[in-house]
Structure 1
Amino acid sequence: MYSARASYVTAAVETATPSALVTMLFDRLLLDVDRASAAFERGETLEARTLVQHAQDIVAELMASLDVAVWDGGPALMSVYAFLYSSLVDASRNSDVDMLGDCRELIASLTSTWHEAAALAAGPAVAAAPTGAGLLGIG
């Protein structure tokens, strides 16, 4: 079945820059955690765990796409991602809304940072940047 929204999302993802893709992932990560927290609070554990699993998948993708060798901060960022992944697993296993709240705070901070980095990457300085790995080892 044809879905205009699905076509739009596909086109947006296929044409996005690497930094824009990361911001999209973080925006969805926030949404998943917010929805999971609300589902846990409503007692809908299966729905909540499904949403947390999707959040874990996003963090796993972020980890897989991070090239720690091209940026000095790469290993530290990988550690943050690993901590976040582990915390999401624990929050899901324990149906812990407070832990999800802690994850959300970390994700919100990272989301803000990635949005700022994407805005910088879209600026005129990027045109002069060398080819190869992009901003913060993404690309």
Structure 2
Amino acid sequence: MSNKQYQAYQNNAVNTASGGELTLMLYNGCIKFIKQASKNIQNGEFEQKNTNIQKAQNIIQELMITLDQKIAISQQILPLYEYMHYQLKEANIKNDPAILDEVLGLTVEFRDTWKQVIIKNRQTTYKQGAQV
């Protein structure tokens, strides 16, 4: 698959994804950028580290903005997102991979939980569809 074909595939995947799948993509992207930033620190690639941390921060900001404040659990999630965003800034300033590891762990937990929500919703939808 050429780079152009891959890009078209990715664009199509984003365009056809549901809201839940888009959130999952955001978590996966954030994980990827945090891991890359950690490698950048180890390799002394500070400009790339900065870019990758900023990409991860942008994703966290997007998750904060799109959080539905009408849902009670959002009041518990928002402070965690704010903490993660702050810690990314600290990791960027201090070039500290340990801070990145902490944020990575939280992001993985959010992603895995979100994945379970999507699976449960699909099962519920499938069962309801089978009963019709």
Q: TM-score, normalised by structure 2?
A: 0.89
Deviation of 1:125 after TM superposition, in Å, equals: 4.1
Which protein shows a greater Rg? 2
- Aligned position for 1:121: 121
Asked whether 1:6 is paired with 2:4, we answer no
Deviation of 1:63 after TM superposition, in Å, equals: 0.7
Deviation of 1:127 after TM superposition, in Å, equals: 8.1
Pairing 1:15-94 to 2, within 5 Å after superposition: 15-69=16-70, 71-94=71-94
| Sequence identity percentage | 24
The amino acid of 1:124's aligned partner reads: T
The amino acid of 2:17's aligned partner reads: A
Deviation of 1:123 after TM superposition, in Å, equals: 2.1
The amino acid of 1:100's aligned partner reads: L
Structure with greater proportional helix content: 2
- Aligned position for 1:103: 103
Q: Deviations over 1:35-71 (max 9, x none)?
A: 10011011111111100000000001111111111x1
Q: How far apart are the structure 2 equivalents of 1:122 and 1:92?
A: 38
- Which ranges in structure 2 are unaligned for 5 or more consecutive residues? none
**Residues matched between the structures, number:** 126
Q: How far apart are the structure 1 equivalents of 2:13 and 2:50?
A: 28
Check 1:53–1:13 CA distance in 2 against 1; reply closer, same or farther (3 A cut). same
Deviation of 1:121 after TM superposition, in Å, equals: 2.0
Q: Deviations over 1:67-102 (max 9, x none)?
A: 111x11011111111111111111111111110011
- Which ranges in structure 1 are unaligned for 5 or more consecutive residues? 129-139
Contact 1:19 1:121 in 2 (8 A): no
Deviation of 1:33 after TM superposition, in Å, equals: 0.6
